[in-house]
Amino acid sequence: MSRMSRHGDLNRRKVPADGPPPAYAQPVLRILDAKSGETVPAVPARRALTRVEAHASGYDLTALRVLLTTDLLLRALELGGTPVLPLLTADRHQAELHAAATTLGIRPFEDGRDLSPGLGEAQVVHVTATGGTLPGAGVTVAVASAGGPEAGVLNTLDDPAALRLALLDAPRGTAVHLGAGALDAAGRRLGRLRQSVAHWARSPSRPVPEKVRGRLRDAWEDDLDVPGVLGVLRWMENQPEIPDGARFETCAYADRLLALDLTRDLGRAA
């Protein structure tokens, strides 16, 4: 019997990947602070509200990369059990940036200029483009520039997740340039992975193997190494001892960080 016929819609069923084991219960995410040049805990030891503020100076691919990095940080913190307050501070293009964030699957932001500091947060983390003015108190995460098409290309894509994947595929400290064909290539790669996930979903469910879960957590807790997370998924595909059901659960688990809609093709005709 197939996964879908046994359990119904994916959003209504509880998958084994939803509960990380006790070994990962404490928030251990560490990030590089651009102000000190040192790797520091993203949050204090106690689980208190963390204010995460994206700073965008324009409407271009670099700004979208800043928003995307902020989204990854928010998701990683929430996976570790930390409550977050997402903010966006921008001098202009507020409407375009909010719309682009929605299109890219980024969590909604509050407007940073409308909220004063001191809301009871235990930590403040700023996310900003490399080379910009470093904000005041708190940890600062710097994001390298991204070039290529105009940010408006987002509105022309059949699948905006292709742009999300293309920007996720390089370390955030490395400048990227999306040349001709880069988005098409990312779209094809994403389509192949979704097809694999849909195929694996037809097998009986199996828990995420601990060694795979550990590799995923080690990657994203090490300064948000998202290319490392994607590398773990590629490595997993070539491990014959991992059952297809466990491959599916692994991708569903990793997608809680990646937000690439990897389960989109479940139930579609092959």
Number of neighbours of residue 120 by Cβ within 10 angstroms: 8
If we measure between CA atoms, which residue out of 268, 246, 245, 101 comes closest to residue 194? Answer: 268
Q: Yes or no: say if 172 and 144 are a contact pair by the CB < 8 Å rule.
A: yes
Q: pLDDT 10s per residue in the chain (270 long)?
A: 444 433 333 333 333 344 444 444 454 799 999 999 999 998 876 677 899 999 998 999 999 999 999 999 999 999 988 999 999 999 899 999 999 999 999 999 988 665 555 556 678 999 999 988 788 788 999 999 999 999 999 989 999 999 999 999 999 999 999 998 999 999 999 999 999 999 999 999 999 999 999 999 999 999 999 999 999 999 999 999 999 999 999 999 999 999 999 999 997 755
Cα–Cα nearest to 226, from 162, 172, 270, 180: 172
Question: Burial letters for 227-238: b for 16+ Cβ neighbours within 10 Å, e otherwise?
Answer: ebbbebbeebee
The closest of 169, 132, 134 to 148, measured between CA atoms, is 169
Indicate the pTM of the whole model.
Answer: 0.86
